[in-house]
Amino acid sequence: MEVLIIRGGTPLGGEVRVGGAKNASLPIIAASLLAPGSSSIEDVPHLRDVDTMCGVLSSLGATVSRSPSAVSVDASDISSVEPPYELVRAMRASFLVMGPLLARMGRVRVSLPGGCAIGSRPIDLHLKGLAALGAEIDMGYGQIEARATRLAGARVYMDFPSVGATENIMMAAVLASGMTLIENAAQEPEVVDLANFLNSMGARVRGAGTNVLRIEGVTELSPACHMVIPDRIEAGTLMVAAAMTRGCLVIDNVVAEHLKPITAKLREAGVSVEERDDGSIYVEMHQRPAGVDIKTMPYPGFPTDLQAQFMALTSISSGSSVITETVFENRFMHVSELARMGASIKIDGRAAMIEGQPSLSGAQVRCTDLRAGAALVLAGLVASGETVVSDVYHVDRGYERLEEKLARAGADIRRVTESEAEQAV
Ligand code: EPZ
């Protein structure tokens, strides 16, 4: 097992580049199952979750190859519709193969993805949508099987604008007969990116980015080439790192439109954020941030995936803040670890009250989930003394060599094995 050792106090500077979006790459790789032939997906980050999704497709009979920046998938010969349990358990996004397999093969059998640290993660909205399209769904022994000779277009209302359910239903509907309407659909940029990829395969998806998707089914699709959008959550994480360390940082390869809620909240906290014409963002900060109140919401609201990082920021603010998590029921796992570094945070149901502190102190802390881990790294960048972050594999699920990017921007951070860390401390 590896750990990150961070010595806080260095302002970040220079320039870093944001990678391709994890949460666009995963559904798009799954969507490549919809057509025989070879699709090429560019700027896909090197992440554990991407490796897992590639492993799922390989287990289904697709030929998957990885170049430094692209993933190629040849889905000509699908020999199985039952991804292995251990891969689905390793990453709930594996469930995104359900829509494509049902649409192309007429059958799919997947293990129930199960919950994770941030919540129970039900799949009722996925199943409701697929059933509306005519799928017969059986559940038992921890497995779900869906069957349909040919899916038929339908009107689907999403009780909640679930990202994954919108994506799964959309991927099933593109080969259904007739028109499908998805109302109260998720509007995240990653959903739009998936729709663009599907349309480049010959699908007819309209309205992506709004809360109503119109999908006119077609009889077949062709493989396509696509470059995924930049990762707005990585970008936001780096923006917060620059703000917390009172740095001056250029962040390349961003879509400013996708970062509006993050930019607005950072400016509210007193951070200077300049959106540049060359597709970069310049973040500058010279004092303690002011306290800000945040309420996570589906896009275009404030993203839940940046809630933990903003809690680290508000932990050192000059005021008090209230952060309300409305999307997941248990996404405050980072609070107790931040408290061990000196943060003053009280939880009341879905709200966390943060009293900003003049400083944090380094400590040995443990990642509980992907974004909580990122928050602990950010706290370590400003804490006095040394912070040792363990269970770093959580961070590696969503950030490609985060410590290298931060070190290039001046941070005193390095990755070592746990035994090396024991010798170093
Ligand atoms: C996607 O997860 C992202 N993952 C998550 O990012 C992100 O936090 C989330 O969307 C919200 O933006 C990927 O795209 C791979 P949801 P997803 O379905 O699709 C409830 C990260 O850190 N719900 O929009 O699983 C659910 O319980 C990860 O990169 C149902 O009730 O999220 C949750 O409370 C974490 N029934 C809410 O909706 C369902 O059938 C939002 O979930 C589905 C979801």
- Asked whether the predicted pLDDT for residue 113 surpasses 90, the reply is no
Q: Which tokens is 404 given?
A: 């290298």
Q: Report the atom number in ligand 1 closest to the C-alpha of 369.
A: 22
The protein residue with its alpha carbon nearest to ligand 1, atom 26, reads 121
Calculate how far, in angstroms, residue 121's C-alpha sits from the geometric centre of ligand 1.
Answer: 7
The ligand 1 atom at the shortest distance from the C-alpha of residue 125 is 40
Residue in the structure block whose two tokens are 């930019």:
263
Domain range 2-18+230-424, CATH architecture: Alpha-beta prism (3.65)
Nearest atom in ligand 1 to the alpha carbon of residue 299 is: 12
Residues 224-235: what's their mean pLDDT? 98
User: Which residue owns the Cα nearest ligand 1 atom 16?
Assistant: 162
**Residue 259 above 70 pLDDT?**
yes
Q: At 335, which helix (H) or strand (E)?
A: helix 334-339
Report if pTM > 0.85: yes
Q: What whole-number distance in Å separates Cα of residue 181 and Cα of residue 173?
A: 9
Quote the pLDDT of residue 424: 67
Residue 425 has pLDDT above 60, yes or no: no
Q: How far apart are CA 362 and CA 388, in angstroms?
A: 8
Pocket test for ligand 1, best of 52, 94, 121 (most atoms within 8 A of CB): 121
Query: Which residue, judged by its Cα, is nearest atom 4 of ligand 1?
Result: 23
Q: Which ranges of 224-292 would DSSP assign to H, the alpha helix?
A: 232-244, 260-268
The neighbour count for residue 157, using CB atoms within 10 Å, is 13
142 alpha carbon – ligand 1 mean position (Å): 20
Average pLDDT over residues 45-58: 96
Nearest CA to ligand 1 atom 30: 122
Q: What percent of the chain has pLDDT over 90?
A: 91
> What whole-number distance in Å separates Cα of residue 300 and Cα of residue 273?
19
Task: Say how many Å lie between the CA of residue 252 and the centre of ligand 1.
Answer: 27
The preferred substitution site among 23, 56, 169, 191 for testing ligand 1, maximizing ligand atoms within 8 Å of CB, is: 23
Instruction: Report pLDDT for 120.
Output: 73
Cα distance between residue 34 and residue 138, in whole Å: 23
State percent of the chain over pLDDT 70.
99
- The answer for residues whose C-beta is within 8 angstroms of residue 218's C-beta and 6 or more apart is 174, 175, 202, 203, 204
Residue 327 pLDDT greater than 90, yes or no: yes
Return the ligand 1 atom nearest residue 23 CA: 14
Ranges 57-66, 70-79, 89-98, 286-295: which has the least confidence: 89-98
Q: Cα(270)–Cα(11) distance, rounded to whole angstroms? A: 16
Site to substitute for ligand 1 among 163, 170, 187, 369, most atoms within 8 A of C-beta = 163
Separation CA 86–CA 69 (nearest Å) = 26
| Cα–Cα nearest to 309, from 374, 381, 391, 400 | 374
Distance 162 CA to ligand 1 centre (A): 6
Architecture, CATH, for domain 22-227: Alpha-beta prism (3.65)
370-423 pLDDT per residue, tens:
999 999 999 999 999 999 999 999 999 999 999 999 999 999 999 998 888 777
Interval between CA 415 and ligand 1 midpoint (Å): 30
How many Å lie between the centroid of ligand 1 and the Cα of residue 258? 18
Taking residue 20's Cβ as centre, other Cβ atoms within 10 Å add up to 27
User: Which ligand 1 atom sits closest to the C-alpha of 304?
Assistant: 8
Residue minimizing CA distance to atom 28 of ligand 1: 305
Active-site positions?
Answer: 116
The protein residue with its alpha carbon nearest to ligand 1, atom 44, reads 162
pLDDT at 419: 81
Domain with CATH 3.65.10.10 in the chain: 2-18+230-424, 22-227
Instruction: Tell me if the bond preceding 45 is cis, omega within 30° of 0.
Output: no
Residue 114's pLDDT is what?
A: 66
Ligand 1 midpoint to CA 205 (Å): 22
Closest ligand 1 atom to residue 328 Cα is 34
Pocket test of ligand 1: the residue of 123, 126, 160 to mutate, having most ligand atoms within 8 Å of its CB, is 160
| Pocket of ligand 1, beta carbon within 6 A | 22-23, 26, 93, 119, 121-126, 160, 162-165, 190, 304-305, 327-328, 370-371, 398
CB 341 within 8 A of CB 382: no
CA 24–ligand 1 middle distance (angstroms): 13
Given strand 2-7, what is the order of strands in its sheet?
364-366, 386-390, 2-7, 412-417
